[in-house]
Chain A
C-alpha cells in the first residue's frame, strides 16, 4: 500500500501518460507517431523496432494495443502468442536494472498488456468492451449493477425478456412455494423436480444465447469492413440485447440454486 509520506509513488503512471484529453471511460485511441525517445528512429507502439527500448505508454484501445481490428471473432491462439511475445519484452522483470523512467514505462505498458489480454481473451468481456468502446452503456443488466443490487438488497429494475415472461412467472411462483415449504420444514420432491427441469431449460437457453452472440459477431465483423454506420448501430443494439438476456438468465439460475440450497 502507498504511504503516508510519499504516497502516489506510482504517479509514474499518470505522469508519463499523455496528459491530453482522454475523456471516455474507455481509453480513446491515440496516435503513436513520435520517434523513439532513445534512438530517434520511428518506432512501434510498445518498443522501438530499431533499438528495442521500451516506450512510454500511449493511450490506445485494447484492440489497437495488440494491433487487431475492432472485430469480435478473434483468433485466441494468435492472441495468446502475441501476449507471450509482448510479455517477454515489456514485463518489469526485463527492466529490473534499467533506469527508473524505463522501469515506470515498462510497468505501465505491461499492466496495459495484461489488462488488454484479460479483456480480449474472454468472449463476453471482449463483447462488453467493444460495446463500451462504441459508446453503448451496458446499464442495469450489467454484472456489476446486479451484484451491487444484490449486496445492498436494493430492488433492481429487472427487464424480463419477452420470450421468457411466462416461464419466469411460473418459476418465481414455484420458488416462492419452495421457500415457504422450507420455512415450514416440508419437503415436496415433485416441486423440486419441476424447478430442476425449469433450471435445465434455462441453462439450455443460456448456452443458445452464446451461439446467438457468436452469430452477431460475424455480422459485426463484416459490417466493420463494409457496413453502414446504421448497420453497425443496429448490430451493437442486438448484441446488447443478447448480453442482457443472457445476464438475466444467469441471475435467475443463481436464484434457483440459492433457493434450492438454503
Chain B
C-alpha cells in the first residue's frame, strides 16, 4: 500500500482534509500498531493504517466527513487491527503463545485493546524513532526508514528526495527492515544508561534528514521543505518528552529554526536559489528566529556543548544580516571550536571564509591553501572569492576549476555569475 496513491487519488469534498490527516495520522496509527504487533510485523501495521485511509476515502466523499475525523480513523484502525488479530495466523500462531507467556501461562482469549491515546501515540512514535535510528543501520538506511515509517513519505517521494529511483529505495528499505528483524530491535525507550548515546544517533539522523531537505538538489521545492518540516516535527517530539529533552535536542531544534527562517527568502519564483548575501531579509521569518533564540537559550542550560550548540550559535549570527567585526569574530571562534569536535570539509571552508572577514584576506588565503580539498568545487569557489580584487587572474583560474568540478546546474550557474563579476 503506497501512501502517495491514497493522497494523490483523492477527489470530492474530503479532498483537502484527507491528505492533511494522512500526513499527520498515518504514521501515528502505524507507530501504535507496530508497537503493538512488534517491529517484525511492520508491514502489517503499515497495511492496516493504509486500509484505514482507504476506508475514509471510500466513505467520506459520499457520506460526508464525520464530526470527529481523527476519532473516526482511530476507531476504524482499532477494528481492523482487532479483526486482523482475530482471524490471522499471526495471532493464533505467534502472538497468542507470547501473550500467554507474558501473562504467566494464563489463557488469553481477547487480544489486548489497541491503545490510541495521545500519550501512547507519542510514546510509540518516539520509541519507533529510536528503533529506526538503530546504530546497526547505516545512516542512509535510517533516514530512509524514518521518512517512510515516521513521516509517511511515499517511495516516489523518498526516491525524488535522494535523486534516485524507486527500486533503489525499495531495496534499501527492504534490507533495513530485514536488519531490524534479525537484530530483534525492540520498540522501546533505550535504558537510561544508553539514552545519551542512542540519542546522539537519533539527533544525527534528524540533522541529516533536515540537511537533505535544505540542500537537496531535488526540483520539488515543496517536498524539500516537507523534509525539513518533518525533521523539525520529530525534534520537537523529543523536546516535548521529558526523558529525551536534553540540551543538545534544543540546540538542534534551534539550528533548524534559524535555517528555516530563511526559506521564504532563499528561492526566486522560478525556483532558483538566492544566495545569502542577495536575500531580502524582510522575508526572513521573524517568528522562527524568535523560536530558535528561545531554544538556543534553553540549550545553554547544562554543561554540555554539542556540535549543534555551536552550529546553532553560528546560525544565530547569520540571522543578523549586517556585517560587523563582532559578528565575524564570533562566527570564526565558533567555527574554530566546532572543527575541534566535529570536522567536516564544509565547516573548514566556512571557517576560512569567516577568517577572511575577521582577520583579512591574506591570512585566509594562507589558511585556505593548506586545506587542499582539491576534489571539492566549493574549495575553489572559496579561493576564487578570496583572490577577488587581490589577484583576479588567480581568482578566475580557481573559479574555472570550480566550474569543472561542480556537480549541479545550480552550482554551475552561481560560479558562472561569479566569473562574469570578475570580468566586469
Do chains A and B interact in one complex? Answer: no
Interface residues of A (CB under 8 A from B): none
